Chains A and B, each alone.
Chain A
Amino acid sequence: MTKKTEVQQGTLALMVLRTLETDGALHGYGIARRIEQTARDLLAVNYGTLYPALLKLEQDGFIRGEWGTSENNRRAKYYSLTPAGKRQLAEERRQWEQTSRILGWFLDPEPA
């Protein structure tokens, strides 16, 4: 089993936003599980980092939290993407793609 790494600073917000975009409203636990699944269990989402990140996104108005009931009848806070969050996701996605492209050029320079 490969060693799980902690989520890199700054990327968690992007992952949360993207997860909510594809899966719709989710509670905190669901988000954490979904991110770990998507990351093929290479990542561990510690909730000491997840919940402050969720709070920050909520304060920024990118996501909205509402109390609801889960399929197995548990009261949970469900987070969903706001329109501002959609825009923010697009923006962060663009930035991230650019960053990874640039990094790619450094790490794997194509012959000129």
Chain B
Amino acid sequence: MSTLRRWFSRLLGTFVGARSDREFAEELETHVRFEIDELVGRGKSPAEARREALVRTGGIELAKEAYREQRGLPLIDHLRRDVSYATRALLRAPGFTAVAVATLALGIGANTALFSIFSSLILRPLPVRDPDSLALLAYGSWSYPIWEEIEARQELFDGAFAWSEERFDLSPSGQSDLVDGAFVSGGLFEVLGVTAARGRMITPADDAGAATDGPVVVISDRLWRQHFAGASDVVGRLLSVQSVPFTIVGVMPAGFFGPDVGRMKDVMLPLAAEPLILGAESRLASAGSSWLQFMVRLKPGQSIELTNAALRASQSQIVETATWDIREPLTLVPAATGRSELRGRFETPLFAMLVAVGLVLLVACANIASLLLARALARRPELSVRLVLGSSRWHIAQLLFIESLIVAAAGAALGLVFASWSSALLVRQLSTWDTNVSLDLALDWRVLGFTAALACLSAITAGVAPVFGLRTVTPGETLKDTGRGIAGDRRFAVRSTLVVAQIAVSLVLVVAAGLFLRTFASLNQLPLGFVSEPLLVAELNLQAGGGPPEERGARVERLRDAATAVPGVRSASVSAIRLLTGGGWSSGLMGVGDEPISRTGQDLWRDATTPGWFETMGIPLRSGRDFGAGDRAGSAPVAIVNEAFVRRFLPDEPPIGEHVRLGRDEVTRFAIVGVVGDAVYTTPRDGMLPTMYVPVAQQAPETFWPTVLLTINAASGQRVALERDVAAALTEADPTVVFTFGTFDQLVEDTVTQERLIAMLSAFFGGLALLLAAVGLYGVVAHAVRVRQTEIGLRMALGAAPSGIVRFVFNRVGVLLAIGLALGLVGSLWGARFVQALLFQVDARDAATFVGAAAVLVAVGVVAAWVPARRAARLDPSAVLREG
């Protein structure tokens, strides 16, 4: 106890030095005065008394020193001295320090950036009360009638809630203003333990329609700040959601984004509000719509297995209403980290990139180690003087290590700044037209701990080499051996090893970059089946304006005509499905001709179009006809299929005139009237899938989608200019319609977001590693040439040609490169299997990529060695030998 107290007090004493120094000086002064008083009392003169008193009490400075030793912790005092010494030494070499700190900042920053995304998407628990007891009903979506069954069994849990994922339009008309949102059951906030930052959250009373506030909405902290400029009177204001006014009753706390990680739920409405927006199309009564997610809080002390068993005991009642068989047992899975669709998509790529960026840091550390080593070697005379003066070897090693620690700490601090900027940039790259990825990238203890660990690791990796390099320093060498070395110098062995490692790791990274770039390129070269350049797309939200669904057909027709009339529009047509989202409208059950309806094994994709859509899209008509004015509600149902459909289902018969039946509907027979060329439906990666098109005019109003796509084929070069004119025409034709513009190019790009990101990052990391390896190689060669210039001068004086000198230098570089490349090749071949899953149409052991990567490294190595080699060849032998 008292030992602990003493240490604490001494630790404190280390930092309150100045004040306590003054106090002690005063105490000593008093002591001397007492002494004088006494001597004067015995009859001495004051001057004599003072002199004698000082003699009797001994040296004041000595006493002060002894006192200081007791006051502070000598170890920390020394450390402080070393740190300030190392800092001064580093500041005296600003060039070296800047390069080392910047290299590390880049390396640590890139690592931290990726890790903070990884952490926020995968590791971080939801910012709610006791996230560990949350569980999600796996997997897929559920209907509202099933939710009612779950809700009726609340006693199984410590609370349960349901929510949906929605895109809400906050704009009452014209250009849309889309945000992510949700319909939530009344208990969501209560179960999660999330309390309002302002006003109140949604309660079960709101969901039951019993609250007095009427239709209510709660908004996120972000929306409050950005849409309402943080207004203090936001509670009570109206917010238009899908053109329906809602009263804002509360603002969610900052940092809370909902149960879905990666999406910021800016607007949350009670489930009871859903019919207000969807009207007759409300999904609340529909047993066939799967659109809800369920989360529960487990009872304290009750395991997830027990809860699952309890849930399954009443499975048959719970799923009774389902329109399809739910055979798999209902399963709750732990959901402390929330639910995320992004997780599955990005976990592997993120992990791969983390490994890559870790390797980059390793290369960077090797560079810094090499630099520090060179610095330490250049300081041999100084260090050897220190040894002579009695400094311990351990203390010198400590001094050198503190230098690398300071560099690492500065690099980490700067890296954090770089990381917070670049991780936000990366997250923005993940967003596409319809998914707005939002991750909380706040620096939490995980990220800070990771960065600190990286800094320590870097300091150790970079700091050990110079300490090893110093084993050869001896006290006696002070004045001898000042750079006249002729024979090979073993001290460079360490640096050469570092360069070989750098080359090897760089090769691995360049190979990876090559593979990912080729994957991205091959995805971009895939045929689309339509001509995207002239196409402008407007997604029309017909639901937002209200009005009965029966009128939508006529509204769409009016809007299409308005768009067609705009000068510069070659054609405009409407379709139901936004293509290239990876999903769409599909059917798993079908029958061709008189065959019985059966599972197709592979889904049949469907779309509804207006006449002229194929022409607008640039999809060729192979045989038969397009839809016409005659294909209307009431006339015989018709369909157009693509060539993939014909290849798969009607390979031998003429397709025109055949009939198709879909789903459980045995009656409706779609007569095939035309065959069109293949076009990508889900993503280019999936290739050409069997697709069936039907006329928009023959769709029943209630199956008419709330949003339709108006595709416009613009005259060449006018696409951008047209957007404004078309927007004006649309608003004029139908003031209530809400729309968003996009292009097919954008949609195509969005299908390769992940691959583009990987290619971009790996190219960046590969380039960075190359650059670092080149700098490392250059450093070693340049240093070797400088140290051996006496030898080189001698060789030249003895008749060696400059070309011979260049060859001499290159031989050395060649050996380093060859070993590095061989090691890198082995590493790449071994690592290849881990990236295969991320590649497309490229073999992970693609020979061309490997050879190309090796060639790039050789080229970079040659360039890095060329500069010092040329300098060596141009040495003036007489000057060198004179200066020695």
A, B bound:
yes
| Chain A interface residues toward B at CB < 8 A | 27-30, 32-33, 46-49, 51-52, 55-56, 59-62, 70, 72, 74-77, 84
Answer whether A29 and B30 are a contact pair too, CB < 8 Å, given A48-B59, A55-B70, A72-B37: yes
| Minimum distance in angstroms from B593 CB to a CB of chain A | 98
A59 touches B10 (CB 8 A): yes
A56 touches B70 (CB 8 A): yes
**Cβ-based interface call for B5 (8 A):** yes
Chain A minimum-CB-distance residue to B65: A48
**Cβ-based interface call for B803 (8 A):** no
| Minimum distance in angstroms from A71 CB to a CB of chain B | 10
- Point out the residues of chain B lying under 8 angstroms from A72, CB to CB: 37
- Point out the residues of chain B lying under 8 angstroms from A27, CB to CB: 30-31, 34
Answer whether A77 and B66 are a contact pair too, CB < 8 Å, given A47-B58, A59-B9, A72-B37: no
Contact among A30, A46, A70, A75 with B58 in the assembled complex (CB-CB below 8 Å)? A46
| Minimum distance in angstroms from B361 CB to a CB of chain A | 44
**Which B11-65 residues have C-beta < 8 A from chain A?**
13, 23-24, 26-28, 30-31, 33-35, 37-38, 57-59, 62-63
Contact among A33, A48, A62, A70 with B62 in the assembled complex (CB-CB below 8 Å)? A48
B5 touches A60 (CB 8 A): yes
Chain B minimum-CB-distance residue to A56: B70
Chain B minimum-CB-distance residue to A62: B2
**Cβ-based interface call for B81 (8 A):** no
B70 touches A28 (CB 8 A): no
List 22 A-B pairs, Cβ < 8 Å: A27-B30, A27-B34, A28-B30, A48-B59, A48-B63, A51-B27, A51-B67, A52-B67, A52-B69, A55-B67, A55-B71, A56-B70, A59-B6, A59-B10, A59-B70, A60-B5, A60-B6, A62-B2, A74-B37, A76-B27, A77-B23, A77-B27
- How far apart are the CA atoms of A55 and B24 in the complex, in Å? 10
Contact among A29, A55, A60 with B31 in the assembled complex (CB-CB below 8 Å)? A29
Contact among B27, B38, B66 with A28 in the assembled complex (CB-CB below 8 Å)? B27
Most chain B beta-carbon neighbours within 10 Å: one of A29, A30, A52, A74: A29
- How far apart are the CA atoms of A29 and B30 in the complex, in Å? 8
| Minimum distance in angstroms from B240 CB to a CB of chain A | 69
Contact among B5, B9, B33, B58 with A48 in the assembled complex (CB-CB below 8 Å)? B58
Answer whether A60 and B30 are a contact pair too, CB < 8 Å, given A46-B58, A47-B63, A48-B59: no
- Point out the residues of chain B lying under 8 angstroms from A61, CB to CB: 2, 5
Most chain B beta-carbon neighbours within 10 Å: one of A49, A52, A61: A52
Chain A minimum-CB-distance residue to B32: A29
- How far apart are the CA atoms of A4 and B70 in the complex, in Å? 26
Query: B-side binding surface: helix, strand, loop or mixed?
Result: helix
B63 touches A60 (CB 8 A): no
Answer whether A47 and B28 are a contact pair too, CB < 8 Å, given A29-B35, A52-B70, A56-B70: yes
B5 touches A29 (CB 8 A): no
B62 touches A28 (CB 8 A): no
Chain B minimum-CB-distance residue to A60: B2
- How far apart are the CA atoms of A72 and B27 in the complex, in Å? 16
- Point out the residues of chain A lying under 8 angstroms from B69, CB to CB: 52
**Given A29-B35, A48-B58, A60-B5; 15 other pairs, CB 8 A cutoff:** A28-B31, A30-B34, A46-B57, A47-B28, A47-B58, A52-B69, A55-B71, A59-B6, A59-B10, A59-B13, A60-B2, A60-B6, A76-B27, A76-B30, A84-B2
Contact among A33, A55, A59, A75 with B30 in the assembled complex (CB-CB below 8 Å)? A75
- Point out the residues of chain A lying under 8 angstroms from B63, CB to CB: 47-48, 51
Answer whether A75 and B9 are a contact pair too, CB < 8 Å, given A46-B58, A52-B69: no
| Minimum distance in angstroms from B36 CB to a CB of chain A | 10
Most chain B beta-carbon neighbours within 10 Å: one of A46, A48, A70, A76: A48
- How far apart are the CA atoms of A32 and B31 in the complex, in Å? 10
- How far apart are the CA atoms of A29 and B56 in the complex, in Å? 12
A74 touches B5 (CB 8 A): no
| Minimum distance in angstroms from B14 CB to a CB of chain A | 12
Answer whether A59 and B5 are a contact pair too, CB < 8 Å, given A47-B63, A52-B70: yes
- Point out the residues of chain B lying under 8 angstroms from A84, CB to CB: 2
- Point out the residues of chain A lying under 8 angstroms from B26, CB to CB: 75
- Point out the residues of chain A lying under 8 angstroms from B27, CB to CB: 28, 51, 76-77
Answer whether A29 and B34 are a contact pair too, CB < 8 Å, given A48-B62, A84-B2: yes
| Minimum distance in angstroms from B20 CB to a CB of chain A | 9
A52 touches B5 (CB 8 A): no
- Point out the residues of chain A lying under 8 angstroms from B9, CB to CB: 59
- How far apart are the CA atoms of A31 and B627 in the complex, in Å? 113
B30 touches A49 (CB 8 A): no
Answer whether A74 and B30 are a contact pair too, CB < 8 Å, given A52-B66, A56-B70, A60-B6: yes
- How far apart are the CA atoms of A92 and B680 in the complex, in Å? 92
Which 9 A-B pairs rank lowest in CB-CB distance, beginning with the nearest?
Answer: A29-B34, A52-B70, A48-B63, A59-B9, A59-B6, A76-B30, A29-B31, A60-B2, A52-B66
- How far apart are the CA atoms of A81 and B34 in the complex, in Å? 22
B31 touches A47 (CB 8 A): yes
Chain A minimum-CB-distance residue to B69: A52
- Binary per-residue interface labels of chain B (70-81) against chain A in the complex, 1 for a CB within 8 Å, 0 otherwise: 110000000000
Answer whether A77 and B30 are a contact pair too, CB < 8 Å, given A51-B67, A72-B37: yes
Chain B minimum-CB-distance residue to A27: B30
Chain B minimum-CB-distance residue to A28: B31
| Minimum distance in angstroms from A65 CB to a CB of chain B | 9
- Point out the residues of chain B lying under 8 angstroms from A75, CB to CB: 26, 30
- Point out the residues of chain B lying under 8 angstroms from A74, CB to CB: 30, 33-34, 37
B6 touches A56 (CB 8 A): yes
Chain B minimum-CB-distance residue to A75: B30
- How far apart are the CA atoms of A46 and B6 in the complex, in Å? 23
- How far apart are the CA atoms of A33 and B31 in the complex, in Å? 11
Chain B minimum-CB-distance residue to A51: B67
Contact among B13, B24, B33, B34 with A51 in the assembled complex (CB-CB below 8 Å)? B24
- Point out the residues of chain B lying under 8 angstroms from A48, CB to CB: 58-59, 62-63, 66
- Point out the residues of chain B lying under 8 angstroms from A32, CB to CB: 31
| Minimum distance in angstroms from A74 CB to a CB of chain B | 6
- How far apart are the CA atoms of A41 and B165 in the complex, in Å? 92
Chain A minimum-CB-distance residue to B68: A52
Most chain A beta-carbon neighbours within 10 Å: one of B33, B34, B37, B62: B34
- Point out the residues of chain A lying under 8 angstroms from B59, CB to CB: 48
A47 touches B30 (CB 8 A): no
Chain A minimum-CB-distance residue to B62: A48
**Which B628-686 residues have C-beta < 8 A from chain A?**
none
- Point out the residues of chain A lying under 8 angstroms from B13, CB to CB: 59
| Minimum distance in angstroms from B74 CB to a CB of chain A | 13
- Point out the residues of chain A lying under 8 angstroms from B71, CB to CB: 55
- Point out the residues of chain B lying under 8 angstroms from A28, CB to CB: 27, 30-31
- How far apart are the CA atoms of A49 and B31 in the complex, in Å? 14
- Binary per-residue interface labels of chain B (360-384) against chain A in the complex, 1 for a CB within 8 Å, 0 otherwise: 0000000000000000000000000
